[in-house]
Copies of this chain bind each other. A is one copy, B any other.
Amino acid sequence: MLVKTPPPPYYAVIFSSLRADDDPAYHETALRMVELASNQPGFLGMESARNEVGITVSYWENEEAIRQWKRQTEHLDAQQSGRKSWYSAYAVRVCRVERAYEFG
């Protein structure tokens, strides 16, 4: 299922990453982060896929919702583990969605 979002403007966070190892705790934490993000105020949805590169895009009502999610306590711990163990590299891009259209 694709995420359904309201008409723009809203915000997207594009998280692109390369994995460093296959620590089983990664998968558990990744699932927990989806659960936690879904309960944050202003969360609109999330889509993920991974082959060589992993891409997770989360959608948010506004920038304040993104700031709150970035500072969420368990998420801060996960960010630290991400840098220490799980990713060899990542990029985070905070974007304002200006136009959107869909098919199907």
Contacts and interface: CB of A to CB of B under 8 A. Distances in A.
Contacts of A93: 5, 8, 12, 97, 99-100
Interface string A86-104: 0111111111111111111
A30 to B, nearest CB: 13
Contacts of A102: 89-92
- State the main secondary structure of chain A at its contact with B: strand
Interface residues of A, number: 40
Nearest to A13: B99
B92 A95 contact: no
A27 interface: no
Q: 10 shortest A-B CB distances, which residue pairs? A: A89-B104, A95-B95, A49-B49, A91-B102, A94-B99, A93-B100, A55-B55, A49-B51, A96-B96, A49-B55
